[in-house]
Amino acid sequence: MVLLSGGLDSAVCLAVARREGFRCHALSFDYGQRHRHELVAGAAVARALGAVEHRVVALDLRAIGGSALTADIEVPKGREPGAGEGGSAIPVTYVPARNLVFLSLAAAYAETVGSGELFIGVNAVDYSGYPDCRPEFIESFARTARLGTRAGVEGAGFSVRTPLAGKSKAEIIRMGAGLGVDFALTHSCYDPVGVAGEGGGVRACGRCESCVIRRRGFEAAGVEDPTRYAGGGL
C-alpha cells in the first residue's frame, strides 16, 4: 500500500516499493485541497509506475479548515520554507492531522487487500516543518495500528515504511531519476494556476514553499527540472 499524493516524494516512494517487488495499491485522497490537480498527477504516476490499482478516497477536510490548503487562507509566497506565522515554526499550509488521518485510512484499506506494508514518502530534512512528517510520529502510528486493527491483533500487523526519511530533496530526486521516475508527471505546487496558450493546462506558481523546495532540490541534484512554472517562478 502506497500513499500517493501525486507529488515528487510519493512518486519516488512508489518507485522504491515497485523496485522491491511489491504489487502496489496506490491510495490518494480528494480532501478538498486547493491544489486538487495533484490527483491528476497521482493517476498518471500510478499508471507510469505500474501500480495494480489507484484508488481515490473522498474526504472533505474543508469541513475542519485551519489550513491554507483547505480554507480561505492565502498561501504564503516568496519566503523561506518552514517559516510559520505568529512565532510558530509550523506554516499555515499544515493541514491538521492530515497524515494521521491518511495513514489510518490506509491501514484500514490495507486490511481489506491483505497488505502489511504501508509506504509513505515523508522526510524530515527538506520539508516544511509539519509535525506529522517526523520519525517519532511514524513509529508511534505503527504501534497504534498494530494495537487497533484486526491484522495487528491476529499477529500480522503493519510495517510503516518511510524510504525517504532522512534524505534531502536533492537525494530524493537523484534516487527517483535512477529509478526512472518521470518527474514531469508529478505536481508539488500548493497554489497552481491555469495558463492559457502554449497548450494550456496547469502550471506551478513557482513561489510557494513547496515550489521553492522542489526547485532548489532539482538545482542541488543537478537534474533538469521539468516543472512548468507560471511567469518563470522565482
User: Hey, what's the torsion of the CAs at 114, 116, 175, 49, to 10 degrees?
Assistant: 0
Closest to 180 measured CA to CA, from 35, 40, 1, 50: 50
- Write out the CATH class of domain 2-168: alpha beta
> The pTM is what?
0.91
CB within 8 A of 129, min separation 6: which ones?
81, 82, 84, 89, 90, 91, 94
Give per-residue pLDDT as tens, 29-80: 999 999 999 999 999 999 999 999 999 999 999 999 999 999 999 999 987 7
Q: pLDDT value at position 213? A: 93
Q: CA 20 to CA 22: how far, in whole Å?
A: 6
Here the cell at position 91 is 506554516
Give me the residue spans of the domains in the chain.
Answer: 2-168
Q: pLDDT value at position 125? A: 75
pLDDT in tens, the chain (234 residues): 999 999 999 999 999 999 999 999 999 999 999 999 999 999 999 999 999 999 999 999 999 999 999 999 999 998 776 555 554 678 899 999 999 999 999 999 999 999 999 999 998 776 668 899 999 999 999 999 999 999 889 988 789 999 999 999 999 999 999 999 999 999 999 999 875 444 457 899 999 999 999 999 999 999 999 999 986 544
Closest to 94 measured CA to CA, from 86, 104, 84: 84
Here the cell at position 79 is 519566503
Here the cell at position 93 is 499550509
Decide the pairing of beta strands 202-203 and 53-58. unpaired
Give the start-end residues of each E strand in the chain: 2-3, 25-30, 53-58, 117-119, 159-161, 193-194, 202-203
Q: pLDDT value at position 56? A: 98
Here the cell at position 142 is 505503527
Here the cell at position 154 is 491476529
Contact (CB, 8 A) for 36 and 13: no
